[in-house]
Structure 1
Amino acid sequence: MLTITQELYDRIVAHAREDHPDEACGVVAGPAGSGRPERFIPMLNAARSPTFYEFDSKDLLKLYREMDDNDEEPVIVYHSHTATEAHPSRTDITLASEPGAHYVLVSTADTDGLGDFQFRSFRIVDGEVTEEEVEVVEAY
């Protein structure tokens, strides 16, 4: 299960909406080994595409060095889908390289008739995708 604060949840959704119609992407880092998302890090979609996201390699290298210096790890890797449901695509599954991370997808398309976005979390390990429950809390 992914436990996330309302503030982080709202920031991820806001980023997805701001970058629409392009896909948004980013990371939420947390203390190494804690599994607790704390530091919101919106990234630039270097692909600037409505159907694909790509972290800029220089930005990503800088982020990993920063996380190493702070004894952090990527707890959440997130991106948005602009025209489809919030479910990992084949490309998303292939690119998933953090087996310990929660992969959050936000759909900015009203694909289910229930509202203007979906927020879902998945574990992706060795190509296997497992959806998990998301618990939104006021604070840890």
Structure 2
Amino acid sequence: MLRIDRATYDAIVAHAREDHPDEACGVVAGPEGSDRPERFIPMLNAARSPTFYEFDSGDLLRLYRDMDDRDEEPVVIYHSHTATEAYPSRTDISYASEPNAHYVLVSTRSHGEQTGLSDDEVEFRSFRIVDGTVTEEDVEVVESYLFGHSPTTVVYD
């Protein structure tokens, strides 16, 4: 199960909506071995595409060096789907290389349309992807992990 705090959940959804009609992507890092997403890191979709996302190789290298320096790992790797449901595509599955990560997908296909969803409802799903096998998992949104603690945000330009 993915346990994520409200602020990080909201930040992922906001990023997906902001980048629509292109796919949004990013990482939420956390302490190694903790399985706790704490540091929200929105990334630039280098492909700038409504059907595909790609991390910029230089940004990704800086991110992994930074996480290594902080004894962190990618707990959540997220992206949005702009025209389809929040479920990993064959391409998403083939690129999934972090067996311990939660792969979060947010669908923005109803963004700006009359769909019966209220503004605060969204298709937000989490998956484990290991050796090409996709397993959906429950998502629990908590108000915070610790009283008075909120996640940090880092932007790589």
TM-score, normalising length: structure 1: 0.97
Are the counterparts in 2 of residues 109 and 117 from structure 1 also a CA contact under 8 Å?
no
User: What is the SS of the residue equivalent to 2:27?
Assistant: strand
Structure 1 counterpart of 2:122, from 107, 117, 121: 117
One-letter identity of the residue aligned with 1:88: P
Contiguous gaps of at least 5 residues in structure 1: none
Structure possessing the higher radius of gyration over alpha carbons: 2
CA contact (8 A) 1:25 1:80 kept: yes
Question: Which residue of structure 2 lines up, in the alignment, with residue 103 of structure 1?
Answer: 103
* Ranges of 4+ aligned residues in structure 1 off by more than 6 Å: none
Q: Percentage identity across aligned positions?
A: 78
Of 125, 128, 134, the match for 1:129: 134
Q: Indicate whether 1:29 and 2:34 are aligned.
A: no
What does the per-residue CA deviation read over 1:92-135, in whole Å, with 9 as the maximum and x for residues that have no partner?
A: 00000000000000000139x55263100000000000000000
Alignment of 1:11-90 (within 5 A): 11-90=11-90
Normalising by structure 2, we get a TM-score of: 0.86
> What letter is aligned with 1:125?
V
Which amino acid counterpart does residue 50 of structure 2 have in structure 1? P
Q: How many residues end up aligned between the 2 structures?
A: 139
Cα-Cα RMSD: 1.2
- 1:5-56 Cα shifts (integer Å, max 9, x gaps): 0000000000000000000000000000100000000000000000000000
- Where structure 2 has 5 or more consecutive residues not aligned to the other structure, the ranges are 146-157
